[in-house]
């Protein structure tokens, strides 16, 4: 004997019902079958709406009932041959008239009791099962239709009746034994009756339960629950982009997950079948070849200690607090009695060992009733000040990790809360029972999607990580960065199991968002068609998305953009900047950003601020972290100036060489910052700060070589003025060349003092052999006192800078 249950979507219309017929036919070839069906998809809701409209005196209930009738009539017409339709149609009509009679009573009385509602909704399953039985007959498949109300006995808790298993089991067994010749029994799900034969229902989703009750009563060898998904998933597919099918799951795990919002199976369904050890298959009516999920005692380990992740929305936390509770028995009893007196279901309980407070999670809709009941129950204690009035917090949700294999498996909760913390998800309360099968955390409702994705990635996609990237700036460096992301896309996926999605892209004119990721092949087109750039909206668009593993890359040279880092870090969004403005602003701001990064677990990385793609800051940090102390730094830190002085020999105008540096992408967007030495001042200051010095820009000496006349007006004026000052530049060159030396713009940091300036460097010096746009940094430290640690290479250029930003993005997510 096997039991097959088909849900509302599987029997929503004639086409789907025909699929059911085919599947049941195949099942019948194997064994006797009990078929349990739900109402046609959506009908139960429609019946409730009609009943409620009637109760409120709204005559539109008649239209709703007409819709219900039409739907069933259409289904009969589409399913049955003309000759077989009339008796079924007249039965459907009779039932629909009965519903109308009851609803008109409700309308006249203006009252809808739970008992009457149960009666009304019972017609959904009665009609569907009756029509389906007729369809089997017309297909030549004999069957026995049985009203489940005659089999399943419950108490009289209308809407959510409890089953009397002794009577029910005996009735089911008796009925089946009385009909040995029948191969196919068809039963309406969901409905039952009490000891006075009054119709009751088993709770929404109760058809699953009907099927489980029958399977258990008959010791069936299998229960199959046919639905519109291919089994239980590791997380809700509406929340997680790549959930996985759970091929097998234990009864306990399935119960935990279904209680926690995985709606694939109605939670009470598991109990009866678990008692008998009957395997339950979850299968997809629309993809029957899919393997589905089997629920049974023994499960194979899926390689993770977690079987699935679930959540409950709309949760309120109730906190009862007070010094008068400590060490006094009975407080929790009274709290729970007050809640149960109002039929309030407690979803989660936590109490610290200080006993100073008890915190429970309940459905948000019950929060005000709970407050009233609990404050009444503790009226005396509240008035005498030993207990506070009940505190209610709403806008929350519960997320839960579920898995039998968490038991005695150290590190699961550490991993869970570590991952949530790294992504800025604040945990309001935690509960874990000693069964260690479920770890639940209460979080803000707005964080649920992020939290579930974070946990899913942590436990099920350990070898596959998604970075959600927002890039501000699509100029020289930004452009190259996007090209490199495109070029490396498959490599990152295949070798590092990382997928980078650009969720937002902006320049000074436009901004564009795409939650699925902006296509890298034609990003310019998307950006050009984006909305006008508004910095506030851009930042709000990033923070409000609240995505996990979010990185903000600042590839501008803009101060307003840099002023937003704090707000981003406070939302646990990592910031990667080649823009040097933040790190070279006042020391307090630099310090604040570093502190926020630590406090909110969001890396703030700016390796490219010094030496572009060279590992300058990383090397310095490694030295310091391992206990070394920086005594002196000597460096050439301007790619532009090194290029200019390597290429200028008095033959070609100085301004032409500077222009070439700008065209080749070495200069700042405003090249005066390079030529004035300001860019180098910023860089040596950043190195000094990273070495632990509280330096400001005004503490840095600058022996600028630029005539004051060149630094006035616009960039065009700057070029024009340099042409006029050619003699000055020639003279600078010749002075060095006459000594057999080269001009180098050198930055020094020595015993806490930093300075920059043009120097004549001879061939014996480490800085002499420095070609093109290269930079070099010499670190003299306690461990490198005589021979410095040297970092040398291209120190400017869009490609190398972009690669440094790229590396920081990957570092942000892996640190």
Q: Is 612 in the site for ligand LTNE7NMQ (CB under 6 A)?
A: yes
Q: Is 558 in the site for ligand NDP (CB under 6 A)?
A: yes
Structure tokens at 124: 């959904």
Q: Is 767 in the site for ligand LTNE7NMQ (CB under 6 A)?
A: no
Distance (Å, rounded) from C-alpha 374 to C-alpha 182? 56
Residue pair 453/239 in contact by the 8 Å Cβ criterion: yes
Distance (Å, rounded) from C-alpha 668 to C-alpha 675? 10
- One character per residue 579-598, x = contact with ligand NDP (rule: CB under 6 A): xx------------------
Q: Compute how many residues bind ligand NDP; rule: CB under 6 A.
A: 32
Q: Is 438 in the site for ligand LTNE7NMQ (CB under 6 A)?
A: no
Distance (Å, rounded) from C-alpha 291 to C-alpha 300? 15
The interface partner of residue 798, options being ligand LTNE7NMQ, ligand NDP, none and the CB cut-off 5 to 8 Å by kind, is ligand NDP
Contacts of 240 (CB under 8 A, 6+ apart): 234, 309, 452, 453, 456
Q: Is 638 in the site for ligand LTNE7NMQ (CB under 6 A)?
A: yes
Residue pair 474/463 in contact by the 8 Å Cβ criterion: no
Q: Identify the three-state secondary structure at position 256.
A: helix
Residue whose structure tokens are 């064994």: 31
Write out the H or E segment, with its range, that includes residue 335.
Answer: helix 331-341
Q: Is 612 in the site for ligand NDP (CB under 6 A)?
A: yes
Distance (Å, rounded) from C-alpha 135 to C-alpha 138? 5
Q: Is 472 in the site for ligand NDP (CB under 6 A)?
A: yes
The interface partner of residue 615, options being ligand NDP, ligand LTNE7NMQ, none and the CB cut-off 5 to 8 Å by kind, is none
- In the region spanning residues 650 to 689, those forming contacts with ligand NDP, defined by CB under 6 A, are 665-666, 668-669
Residue 530 or 639 having the CB closest to ligand LTNE7NMQ: 639
Distance (Å, rounded) from C-alpha 511 to C-alpha 472? 9
Q: Is 158 in the site for ligand LTNE7NMQ (CB under 6 A)?
A: no
Residue pair 285/331 in contact by the 8 Å Cβ criterion: no
Stretch that binds ligand LTNE7NMQ, among 71-79, 326-334, 662-670, 754-762 (CB under 6 A): 662-670
Backbone angles phi, psi at 205, to 5 degrees: 85, 5
Stretch that binds ligand LTNE7NMQ, among 161-169, 422-430, 449-457, 638-646 (CB under 6 A): 638-646
- Distance in Å, CB of 610 to ligand LTNE7NMQ, minimum: 7
Distance (Å, rounded) from C-alpha 193 to C-alpha 201? 8
CA dihedral 519, 525, 529, 535 (to 10 degrees): 70
Residue 458 or 799 having the CB closest to ligand NDP: 799
Q: Is 504 in the site for ligand NDP (CB under 6 A)?
A: no
Residue 475 or 615 having the CB closest to ligand NDP: 475
- In the region spanning residues 537 to 556, those forming contacts with ligand NDP, defined by CB under 6 A, are 555-556
Q: Quick check: is 683 catalytic?
A: yes
Q: Is 268 in the site for ligand NDP (CB under 6 A)?
A: no
Q: Is 474 in the site for ligand NDP (CB under 6 A)?
A: yes
Query: Pick from 639, 677, 788, 804: which binds ligand LTNE7NMQ (CB under 6 A)?
Result: 639
Distance (Å, rounded) from C-alpha 14 to C-alpha 128? 11
- Distance in Å, CB of 645 to ligand LTNE7NMQ, minimum: 12
Q: Identify the three-state secondary structure at position 322.
A: coil
State how far the alpha carbon of 96 is from the alpha carbons of 7, 28, 71, 91, 102, in Å.
21, 32, 11, 9, 10
The interface partner of residue 364, options being ligand LTNE7NMQ, ligand NDP, none and the CB cut-off 5 to 8 Å by kind, is none
Query: Pick from 84, 279, 291, 475: which binds ligand NDP (CB under 6 A)?
Result: 475
Contacts of 31 (CB under 8 A, 6+ apart): 1, 2, 221
Q: How many residues does the chain have?
A: 815
Catalytic residue among 283, 580, 683, 792: 683
Region label for 190, one of left (φ > 0), alpha (ψ between -120 and 50) or beta (otherwise): left
Q: Is 668 in the site for ligand LTNE7NMQ (CB under 6 A)?
A: yes
Distance (Å, rounded) from C-alpha 9 to C-alpha 209? 17
- In the region spanning residues 778 to 797, those forming contacts with ligand NDP, defined by CB under 6 A, are 796-797
DSSP state of 532: E
CB atoms within 10 A of CB 622: 12
CB atoms within 10 A of CB 685: 26
Stretch that binds ligand LTNE7NMQ, among 174-182, 279-287, 334-342, 661-669 (CB under 6 A): 661-669
Query: Pick from 370, 561, 602, 710: which binds ligand NDP (CB under 6 A)?
Result: 561
Residue 246 or 805 having the CB closest to ligand NDP: 805
- In the region spanning residues 675 to 694, those forming contacts with ligand LTNE7NMQ, defined by CB under 6 A, are 679
Backbone angles phi, psi at 601, to 5 degrees: 55, 35
The closest alpha carbon to 556, from 507, 505, 490, belongs to: 507
- C-alpha 540: how far from its chain's center? 18
Q: Is 607 in the site for ligand LTNE7NMQ (CB under 6 A)?
A: no
Structure tokens at 76: 């009969």
Residue 194 or 799 having the CB closest to ligand NDP: 799
Q: Is 796 in the site for ligand LTNE7NMQ (CB under 6 A)?
A: yes
Q: Which residues are catalytic?
A: 683
Binding residues for ligand NDP (CB under 6 A)? 472-478, 506-509, 533, 555-558, 560-561, 578-580, 608, 612, 639, 665-666, 668-669, 796-798, 801
**Contact residues for ligand LTNE7NMQ (CB under 6 A)?**
612, 638-640, 666-668, 674, 679, 795-796
């Amino acid at each position: 004997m096997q039991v097959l249950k088909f849900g509302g979507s599987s029997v929503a219309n004639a086409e789907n019902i025909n699929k059911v017929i085919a599947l049941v036919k195949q099942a019948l070839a194997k064994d006797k079958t009990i078929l349990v069906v739900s109402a046609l998809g959506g009908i139960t809701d429609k019946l409730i709406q009609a009943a409620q409209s009637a109760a409120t005196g709204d005559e539109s209930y008649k239209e709703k009932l007409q819709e219900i009738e039409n739907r069933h009539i259409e289904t009969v017409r589409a399913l049955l041959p003309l000759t077989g339709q009339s008796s079924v149609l007249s039965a459907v009509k009779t039932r629909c008239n009965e519903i109308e009679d009851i609803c008109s009573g409700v309308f006249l009385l203006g009252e809808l009791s739970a008992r009457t509602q149960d009666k009304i909704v019972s017609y959904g399953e009665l009609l569907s099962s009756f029509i389906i039985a007729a369809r089997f007959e017309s297909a030549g498949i004999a069957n026995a239709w049985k009203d489940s109300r005659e089999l399943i006995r419950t108490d009289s808790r209308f809407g959510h009746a409890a089953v009397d298993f002794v009577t029910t089991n005996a009735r089911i067994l008796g009925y089946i034994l009385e009909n040995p010749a029948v191969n196919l029994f068809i039963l309406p799900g969901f409905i039952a009756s009490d000891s006075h034969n009054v119709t009751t229902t088993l709770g929404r989703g109760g058809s699953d339960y009907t099927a489980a009750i029958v399977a258990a009563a008959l010791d069936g060898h299998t229960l199959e629950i046919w639905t519109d998904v291919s089994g239980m998933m590791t997380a809700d597919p509406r929340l997680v982009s790549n959930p996985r099918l759970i091929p097998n799951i234990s009864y306990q795990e399935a119960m935990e997950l279904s209680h926690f919002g995985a709606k694939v199976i109605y939670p009470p369904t598991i109990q009866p079948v678990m008692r008998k050890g009957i395997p339950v298959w979850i299968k997809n009516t629309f993809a029957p070849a899919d393997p589905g999920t089997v629920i049974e005692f023994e499960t194979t380990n899926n390689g993770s200690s977690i079987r699935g992740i679930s959540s409950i929305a709309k949760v309120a936390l109730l906190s009862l607090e007070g010094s008068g509770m400590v060490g006094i028995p009975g407080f929790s009893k009274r709290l729970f009695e007050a809640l149960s007196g109002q039929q309030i279901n407690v979803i989660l309980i936590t109490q610290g060992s200080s006993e100073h407070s008890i915190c429970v999670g309940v459905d948000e809709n019950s929060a005000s009733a709970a407050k009233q009941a609990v404050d009444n129950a503790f009226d005396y204690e509240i008035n005498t000040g030993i207990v506070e009035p009940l505190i209610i917090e709403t806008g929350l949700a519960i997320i839960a990790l579920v898995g039998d294999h968490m038991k005695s498996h150290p590190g699961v909760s550490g991993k869970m809360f570590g991952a949530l913390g790294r992504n800025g998800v604040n945990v309001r309360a935690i509960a874990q029972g000693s069964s260690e099968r479920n770890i639940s955390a209460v979080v803000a409702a707005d964080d649920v999607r992020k939290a579930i994705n974070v946990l899913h990635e942590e436990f099920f996609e350990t070898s596959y990580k998604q970075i959600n990237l927002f890039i501000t700036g699509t100029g020289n460096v930004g452009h190259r960065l996007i090209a490199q992301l495109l070029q490396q896309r498959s490599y990152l996926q295949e070798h590092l199991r990382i997928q980078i999605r650009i969720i937002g892209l902006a320049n000074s004119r436009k901004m564009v968002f795409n939650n699925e990721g902006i296509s890298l092949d034609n990003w310019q087109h998307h950006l050009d068609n984006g909305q006008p750039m508004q910095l506030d909206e851009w930042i709000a668009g990033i923070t409000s998305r609240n995505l996990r593993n979010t990185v903000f890359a600042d590839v501008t040279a803009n101060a307003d953009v840099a002023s937003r880092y704090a707000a981003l870090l406070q939302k646990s969004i990592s910031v990667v900047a080649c823009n040097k403005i933040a790190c070279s602003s006042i020391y307090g701001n630099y310090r604040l950003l570093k502190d926020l990064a630590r406090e909110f677990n969001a890396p703030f990385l700016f390796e490219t601020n010094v030496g572009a793609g060279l590992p300058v800051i990383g090397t310095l940090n490694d030295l310091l972290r391992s206990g070394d102390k920086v005594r002196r730094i000597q460096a050439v830190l301007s790619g532009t100036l090194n290029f200019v002085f390597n290429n200028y020999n008095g033959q070609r105008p100085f301004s032409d060489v500077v222009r070439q540096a700008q065209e080749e992408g070495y200069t700042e967007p405003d090249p005066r910052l390079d030529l004035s030495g300001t860019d180098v001042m910023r860089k040596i200051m950043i190195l000094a700060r990273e070495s632990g010095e509280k330096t400001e820009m005004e503490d840095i000496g600058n022996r600028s070589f630029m005539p004051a006349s060149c630094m006035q007006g616009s960039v065009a004026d700057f070029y024009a003025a340099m042409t006029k000052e050619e003699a000055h530049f020639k003279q600078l060159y010749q002075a060095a060349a006459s000594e057999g030396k080269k001009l180098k713009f050198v930055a020094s940091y020595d015993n806490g003092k930093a300075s920059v300036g043009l120097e004549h460097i001879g061939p014996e010096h480490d800085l002499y052999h420095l070609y093109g746009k290269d930079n070099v940094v010499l670190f003299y430290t306690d461990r490198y006192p005589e021979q410095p640690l040297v970092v040398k290479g291209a120190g400017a250029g869009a490609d190398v800078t972009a690669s440094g930003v790229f590396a920081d993005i990957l570092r942000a997510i892996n640190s």
